[in-house]
């Protein structure tokens, strides 16, 4: 009986040590990698390069000096469908210093059909490997980032955005 009791205590002790070591290993020092940084206002927008629906390449860092509305969306997303006409209207009203980029996260679907059906003329970028979506830590779509002419995120908006809010965010950019 004493042997069973000692064996039980020993097993519990080993389990406790294993749990402690496991938890201790998870307490790593914070990464200094910029991609691990939480993307919020005041943070430099991570650079990326994606192909457009038309086959051109867009690199965010090459847009320095321009204001950017960076929107993440999908063809099946009802709020995305609702906001696209307002984005198109903003695009038509915008001055030369504003670029609207819409990053599609479901390029395997009929993106071109969606664009044609909705009369969208601003650049549609295809995130075929889901890298930019992850880089920008998008957890809900639509999500829009407003990036100033110095490449710094000034605002992040989650959800469908009405036209007047888009205009206000753009006007607030430097």
| Residues that are catalytic | 80
Compute the residue count for the chain: 174
Residue 151: left (phi > 0), alpha (psi -120 to 50), or beta? Answer: left
Written as one string, the DSSP assignment of 21-64 is HHHHHH-PPPP--GGGS---TTSBPPP-EEEETTS-EEEGGGGT
Q: In what order do the strands lie in the sheet with 49-52?
A: 57-59, 49-52, 124-126, 98-104, 67-73, 143-147, 153-158
Calculate the CA 50 to chain-centre distance.
Answer: 14
């Amino acid at each position: 009986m004493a042997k069973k009791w000692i064996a039980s205590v020993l097993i519990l002790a080993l389990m406790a040590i294993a749990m402690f070591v496991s938890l201790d290993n998870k307490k790593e020092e914070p990464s200094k990698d910029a991609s691990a940084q939480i993307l919020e206002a005041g943070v430099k927008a991570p650079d990326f390069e994606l192909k457009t629906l038309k086959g051109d390449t867009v690199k965010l860092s090459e847009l320095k000096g321009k204001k950017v509305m960076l929107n993440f969306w999908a063809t099946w997303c009802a709020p995305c469908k609702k906001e696209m006409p307002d984005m198109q209207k903003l695009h038509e009203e915008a001055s030369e210093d504003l670029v609207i980029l819409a990053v599609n996260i479901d390029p395997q679907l009929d993106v071109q059909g969606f664009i044609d059906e909705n009369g969208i003329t601003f650049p549609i970028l295809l995130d075929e490997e889901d890298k930019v979506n992850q880089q920008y830590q998008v957890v809900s779509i639509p999500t829009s980032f407003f990036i100033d002419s110095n490449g710094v995120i000034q605002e992040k908006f989650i959800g469908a955005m009405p036209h007047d809010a888009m205009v206000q965010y753009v006007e607030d950019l430097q």
